[in-house]
Amino acid sequence: AQATTSSSLITVKALSNTKIPILSKRFANAGCLPVQTVCCLSKIRIKRISECATSTRTAAKRRPAEMARVVSQGSPILMASFRRGCPFETQAGIYESEILGADVKVRMSDPTDVRLNFPLQLEDGVHNISFANSGVPHVLFFAEDLEGTDVFGLGRQTRYHDDFKPAGTNANFVRVKDSQAIDIRTYERGVEDETLACGTGSIAAAVVSAALGKVTSPVAVKTASGSVLTIHFDLVNGEPENVYLEGDARIIYAGELTEDAWVY
């Protein structure tokens, strides 16, 4: 499945910890990092990460397809769930989703540890940054020349900076377009490179921009892929609450794992 940037989802009834690394291998198996598992006909469980906004949207879009056969049998409970969306259980909490045509809207965790305007020493000098944890940690740089920004170089230095050890952090580079629109480029830890989009990074960028008085909700976030994510939230005494992420999600292809998948 795809939501702005690619996200591999493996739909299973149960997946042991020993099988997850096998399926995660790129070029030799399904290939996904980290693997996202969707438990059929129950709450969706996003495992092995704190929270991934892209995976929650793709899982929400995939889930109704998995339920369609059962729904057609007339179960009123499943019919209601099919229309409404479904709950997500991640290490960061349980959230609701709503399918809006081609888009999916997901209730995300409220960002924490919001810190504004503090210095970070990098190789080329001191940068003024901000920070928010929107399920995973994100550093925010504001830049007018987003196209000319060294996302890989600055992002990698920030990701491994002593100030963010041992977990590390993602690094986002943000340009404010107007009071309800921003552009973003993101260096993601784990991937260790710039990605086409990052949902939690977009959330962090939107709420930090609002806390700095640069934007108001809802905020349209244009990602490196060209797709736009819309972040809805309230800012209460400077703290973000009731955060929703809205964006497109597409089922690109579906397949079935065979017994040979466990050989590699």
SS3 assignment, position 135 = coil
Single-letter amino acid code for the residue at 111:
P
Report which of residues 2 and 240 the model is more confident about: 240
User: Is the pLDDT score of 69 beyond 50?
Assistant: no
pLDDT greater at residue 198 or residue 40: 198
- The pLDDT of residue 22 is above 90: no
**Beta strands 44-45 and 88-90: pairing type?**
parallel
> What tens digit of pLDDT does each residue of 141-194 get?
999 999 999 999 999 999 999 999 999 999 999 999 999 999 999 999 988 999
Rounded CA-CA distance 104/245 in Å is 8
Contact between 54 and 199 under an 8 Å Cβ cutoff? The reply is yes
The pLDDT value recorded for residue 163 is 97
CA dihedral 172, 183, 221, 213 (to 10 degrees): 80
Long-range residue pairs from 77-85, CB within 8 A, at least 24 positions apart, any chain? 78/41, 85/60
Confidence of residue 47 (pLDDT cuts 50, 70, 90): very low
Residue 111: its pLDDT value, please? Answer: 95
Report the candidate in 95, 52, 98, 93 with the shortest Cα–Cα distance to residue 195.
52
| Fold of the domain spanning 112-248 | Diaminopimelate Epimerase; Chain A, domain 1 (3.10.310)
pLDDT in tens, 202-238: 999 999 999 999 999 999 999 999 999 999 999 999 8
**Percentage of the chain with pLDDT > 90?**
50
- What's residue 121's pLDDT? 98
Once rounded to an integer, what is the mean pLDDT over residues 68-90? 46
Worst-scoring range by mean pLDDT, 22-31, 79-88, 92-101, 115-124? 79-88
C-alpha–C-alpha distance, residues 50 and 90, integer Å: 6
Q: Mean of the pLDDT values across residues 35-53?
A: 43
pTM for the whole thing? 0.74
Q: Which residues contact 122 (CB under 8 A, 6 or more apart)?
A: 154, 157, 158, 161
- The pLDDT assigned to 82 comes to 40
pLDDT of res. 99: 77
Ordered by start, the domain boundaries in the chain are: 2-99, 112-248
Q: What are the CA-CA distances from residue 41 to residues 38, 81, 91, 165 (Å)?
A: 9, 10, 20, 39
d(CA 2, CA 225): 12
